[in-house]
Chain A
Amino acid sequence: MSDVILTMKNINKQFPGVKALSDVDLEIRAGEVLALMGENGAGKSTLMKILTGIYKRDSGTIIYNGEEIEFSNPKAAQDAGIVIVHQELQMVNHLTVAQNIFVGREFKNGLMIDDQKMNEEAKKLFDLFEIEIDPKENMGNLTVGSQQLCEIAKAISFDAKIIVFDEPTAALTEHEIQHLFNIIRRLRDRGIGMVYISHRMDEIEQITDRVTVLRDGEYVGTIITEESTKDEIINMMVGRTIFEEPKQFSNVPADAETVLEVKNLNQGNRVKDVSFNLKKGEILGFSGLMGAGRTETARVIFGADKKDSGSIILNGKEVEIENPTDAVTLGIGYLSEDRKRFGLMLEKNLYENMSLASLDDFVSNSVINEKLERKIASEHVVSLNIRTPGVSQFVENLSGGNQQKVVVAKWLIANSDILIFDEPTRGIDVGAKQEIYELMNDLVNEGKSIIMISSELTEILRMSDRIVVMCEGRKTGELSIEEATQEKIMHLATKRD
């Protein structure tokens, strides 16, 4: 048995309205890969952010190399040899690969930055792991996969003792994943302790030694990967088996009318020749890896970004959508993947947020009827089961799930018939997630139609009636729910030209 290098014990962390972690334990050993698993919102990222000094813990202890530690910032953690490879890449596109790797600790030649030395050092680093990337290349010219490898090389270059990988394969092709695994195995041989966060079961089986599972911010348990089955791990994660059951067949009748048809949509190099249609009462799932162009497609349809070409046909009539105002008038609502930035006014109250898309309906003689606003908002608080002390509450004080419901209420009040849900359950805890799913099902039963963009395959398979898969801006396939499997979707999602 290898040595324990780091122990986290009884870690607690509270966010406004949400208990993110309660009494969580974690043990990292030298020369092993520990999988950290759990549903979205289980607390994995929070725990890792506490480990790497991004967040402060409320209570609990961290013992590293026999000493109790507390990192006040990520730099302190880095200096101690604990680094994280983030899910979202943190690279500067206009700098070279080498400049990115050594950003903030450049080699200097007097006052000048010694680019040559940096290139040499980066090359050495790459050679060690058989990474074939030119250190002099601009970061922006690399594929997402190569950028990911650079991020990892950067982490290693800190003389890391512990490396945390936060969903490193989310944007990688099968080939790139195997390359990454080779690198991880080498790091393991060198005695480095790693934490590997991923949702993909087959990866967990391939590369990890032990699995620690969190659920709803609580520690569930740790098991040896070799001695456990997929089902056991899933059971630990969800606590009940029925939860992730995929949809068996489409609920949409074959003769349902087409409400939205998109033809040959183009926008820059993010959206390339995308065509699809949406039927009344349908949940159309959009699957794909990060950067596949799904959000961009949605934004163009909604008028948030201008399209280069293509046509949008709504209820049989071709329409011009120049801006979000047009889209809202035509009955389209968009629920962004980033609610806080694009969906909500956090320091405004519930009813001000809910009436925003349809304020005209609350105005008589150019004066806002606040009484009516409160009444309609209260009705939606009840019907959507939003947990809040009242409609005058600031939205920032609500939990993620309830915030999402406020956005849903906004579009229901605006009478939207087509709702685009972009990552509807991101950052929402398990219970609330279930509620959002039920809500979406209710909406389509009432005759509304939904486009659902999701990076979670389980979510796609559970909710969709039909699935569109995209890769690098193109639609690479369409699957009925009856024929769809995780494998088929992943195959299409990585189908590059």
Chain B
Amino acid sequence: MKNKLKQKSVVDFNKFGLLIVLVVIYLLFGILTPIFKPGSNFFQFSRILSALNYAYFIGFLALGVTFVISTGGIDFSIGPVMFASALIAGQCLVYYKLPLWLCLIIACVVGLLFGILNGYMVAYRFLPSFVTSMASMQIAKGLGSVFTRTQSVTWPPRGEPNSWFRNLIKFGSVPTGLILLMVTALICGFFLFRTKPGRYILCLGSNKEAVRLSGVSTKKWEMLAFVICGLLAGVASIFYVGAYATVQPGLGDAFNNEAIAACVMGGTSMAGGKASIFGTFIGALIIALLQEGILALGFSISYQYVLTGLIVLIAVIIDSKKNIKSV
């Protein structure tokens, strides 16, 4: 009984605590910015909008990878897959002049196909997800480059024809992207915690063999987690180009770590079986805020890599401590 109460309070503190962390980081940057760069102000709406631009695509990536991590697996291909989607769909739009709606679907389909590839290899061919996703990361990078002949692709800027997709990010001064991300997070949460496939995905992460020996077709559900993850990486690409327009081939791996960091920071266990969609959402906001703040302070973006690396380490240490305690 005691044990149960303790476990519950840990979860609640995490949710509440993460929000506090978000606010504290925001205030911290607000105080530090004028000190490092006299005359500049962090407390501006434009800063928030800029941070949100970063939060959208990281958020979609992180939501997707939450499913994979819930099964006890990992996906290191999401960043490059997102870039491959953006490059291939962008090339279709700019070079082959396909209609915009079709290009947006193509972006999602490219992500989906990578999800299917990863999921099939892991669930049906029994390859470790670590290795599989490393391989598909390379494939995604290469494919994007080949398709665009190693050229960068620039999606149409606001005001030009075929630019209505930018309204997905911001409509007037309404951050529509935030609304869409929140709606997606709600759907993900509902799917993971309230539906049968979601339950199976979480159970797989707890004890895959016990689930199989209970008569569940584990392969199907394990694959599904990767497919969702791939699809959301495709969706993320729309929000990336909605905010930043230009995509360069051969990149994207940095976002893997940031999305996984958001996920783990939010309380999803790397060992599988335990997940928090709310945590992932707040985690993505924190990552975006860090990125924005570090730039505002005038530091190079490389510092952010150091910071996310450290965050992952700390989050995993906390997580593994929890696990050890329960043994």
**Residues of A in contact with B (beta carbons under 8 Å apart):** 16, 302, 304, 323-325, 327-329, 334, 336, 341-348, 352, 356-357, 359-360, 363, 366-368, 370, 389-390, 392-394, 396-397, 410, 414
**Secondary structure dominating the interface of A:** mixed
Give me the 3 closest cross-chain CB pairs, A-B, nearest first. A328-B215, A345-B206, A357-B214
Cross-chain contact B4 with A344 (CB below 8 angstroms): no
Task: List A contacts of B273 (CB < 8 A).
Answer: 345, 347-348
Cross-chain contact B196 with A368 (CB below 8 angstroms): yes
Cross-chain contact B215 with A363 (CB below 8 angstroms): no
Task: List A contacts of B151 (CB < 8 A).
Answer: none
Task: List A contacts of B215 (CB < 8 A).
Answer: 324-325, 327-329, 357, 414
Query: B181-215: which have CB < 8 Å to A?
Result: 194-197, 199-200, 202-203, 206-207, 209-215
B40 vs chain A, min Cβ distance (A): 47
A167 vs chain B, min Cβ distance (A): 26
Given contacts A342-B209, A367-B195, contact A347 B274 (CB under 8 A): yes
Given contacts A329-B215, A356-B203, A397-B3, contact A345 B210 (CB under 8 A): yes
Query: B160-194: which have CB < 8 Å to A?
Result: 194
Cross-chain contact A304 with B199 (CB below 8 angstroms): no
A366 to B7, CA, bound (A): 29
Cross-chain contact A397 with B4 (CB below 8 angstroms): yes
Cross-chain contact A389 with B206 (CB below 8 angstroms): no
5 interchain pairs, CB-CB under 8 A? A325-B216, A347-B273, A363-B196, A368-B199, A392-B4
Q: Please tell me which one of the listed residues B194, B197, B213 contacts residue A304 in the complex, with CB atoms under 8 A apart.
A: B213
Closest B residue by C-beta to A366: B195
Task: List B contacts of A410 (CB < 8 A).
Answer: 214
B69 vs chain A, min Cβ distance (A): 15
Task: List B contacts of A352 (CB < 8 A).
Answer: 199, 203
Cross-chain contact B207 with A345 (CB below 8 angstroms): yes
A297 vs chain B, min Cβ distance (A): 15
Given contacts A304-B213, A347-B326, contact A368 B4 (CB under 8 A): no
- Decide if B217 is an interface residue (CB 8 Å cutoff): yes
A198 vs chain B, min Cβ distance (A): 30
A323 vs chain B, min Cβ distance (A): 8
B220 vs chain A, min Cβ distance (A): 10
Q: Please tell me which one of the listed residues A327, A363, A393 contacts residue B4 in the complex, with CB atoms under 8 A apart.
A: A393
Given contacts A356-B203, A359-B200, contact A343 B213 (CB under 8 A): yes
> Contacts A342-B210, A344-B207 given; 4 further ones with Cβ under 8 A?
A302-B213, A304-B213, A368-B194, A394-B3
Closest B residue by C-beta to A362: B196
A347 to B326, CA, bound (A): 8
Cross-chain contact A348 with B206 (CB below 8 angstroms): yes
Task: List B contacts of A346 (CB < 8 A).
Answer: 206-207
Closest A residue by C-beta to B271: A347
Cross-chain contact B214 with A341 (CB below 8 angstroms): no
A469 to B71, CA, bound (A): 40
Closest B residue by C-beta to A416: B215
Task: List A contacts of B7 (CB < 8 A).
Answer: 394
A414 vs chain B, min Cβ distance (A): 7
Task: List B contacts of A366 (CB < 8 A).
Answer: 195-197
Q: Please tell me which one of the listed residues A336, A345, A368, A396 contacts residue B211 in the complex, with CB atoms under 8 A apart.
A: A345
A348 to B274, CA, bound (A): 9
Task: List A contacts of B197 (CB < 8 A).
Answer: 366
A410 to B195, CA, bound (A): 19
A423 to B115, CA, bound (A): 41
Most buried by B among A324, A347, A397: A347
Closest A residue by C-beta to B208: A345
Task: List B contacts of A394 (CB < 8 A).
Answer: 3-4, 7, 326
A357 to B213, CA, bound (A): 9
- Decide if B1 is an interface residue (CB 8 Å cutoff): yes
A235 to B228, CA, bound (A): 61
Q: Please tell me which one of the listed residues A302, A324, A356, A367 contacts residue B194 in the complex, with CB atoms under 8 A apart.
A: A367
A359 vs chain B, min Cβ distance (A): 6
Q: Please tell me which one of the listed residues A16, A302, A341, A348 contacts residue B209 in the complex, with CB atoms under 8 A apart.
A: A341
Task: List B contacts of A323 (CB < 8 A).
Answer: 212, 217
Q: Please tell me which one of the listed residues A344, A390, A392 contacts residue B210 in the complex, with CB atoms under 8 A apart.
A: A344
Task: List A contacts of B214 (CB < 8 A).
Answer: 324, 328, 356-357, 410, 414
Closest B residue by C-beta to A359: B196
Task: List A contacts of B211 (CB < 8 A).
Answer: 345, 356
Cross-chain contact B195 with A389 (CB below 8 angstroms): no
Task: List B contacts of A348 (CB < 8 A).
Answer: 202-203, 206, 273
A416 vs chain B, min Cβ distance (A): 10
A59 to B303, CA, bound (A): 50
A359 to B199, CA, bound (A): 9
A405 vs chain B, min Cβ distance (A): 16
Task: List B contacts of A325 (CB < 8 A).
Answer: 215-217
Given contacts A359-B199, A367-B195, A393-B4, contact A334 B207 (CB under 8 A): no
Interface string of B1-23 (1 = CB under 8 A from A): 10110010000000000000000
B327 vs chain A, min Cβ distance (A): 9
Closest A residue by C-beta to B203: A345
A16 to B203, CA, bound (A): 23
A352 to B193, CA, bound (A): 12
A390 to B7, CA, bound (A): 14
Closest A residue by C-beta to B206: A345
Cross-chain contact A347 with B206 (CB below 8 angstroms): yes
